[in-house]
Amino acid sequence: MFKKHFLLLCLTCTLSTFSQEKTESDTLIAYEIIYVNKEEFDKQIFLTNVELFYVEEGKTFYLEGFNHTGEKTIIALKYAQTNKGIDYFEFFNNEYEFINDEEQAIFYFKSKSKQVKDTSDSMYRVIQIQKN
């Protein structure tokens, strides 16, 4: 798989380290949120029991957790480009900006906005990682 040389990211300094026993409130959950014309359109659980890793060597984020069917799933968001000082990571043929909102204790990946086919509407997707 990938080298076990990675940086484990935590939401807050007070969050228990992953080598210690975690309580349910310490677990992370990832939501998929769809926005249409900058308004929330749909929100659903993307992965549960999430661990977020960053592998510096390949400039890749890995989200590891369980999907809606209970299968262990690993999602890779690989570095794509830097544009106007913002780093973008590729996932499913779209580029996502990584944002660490320390004030809200949330990590999220926000896709670039795209026009909805055959409409004047625009949409973007957010993968939001937060404490359960």
Q: Tens-of-pLDDT digits for all 132 residues of the chain?
A: 333 333 333 333 223 333 344 455 568 999 999 999 999 999 999 999 999 999 999 899 999 999 999 999 999 999 999 999 999 999 988 999 999 888 888 999 999 999 999 999 999 999 999 998
Global pTM reads 0.78
Q: How far apart are CA 105 and CA 28, in angstroms?
A: 11
Q: How far apart are CA 45 and CA 80, in angstroms?
A: 26
Tokens of 98: 């990584």
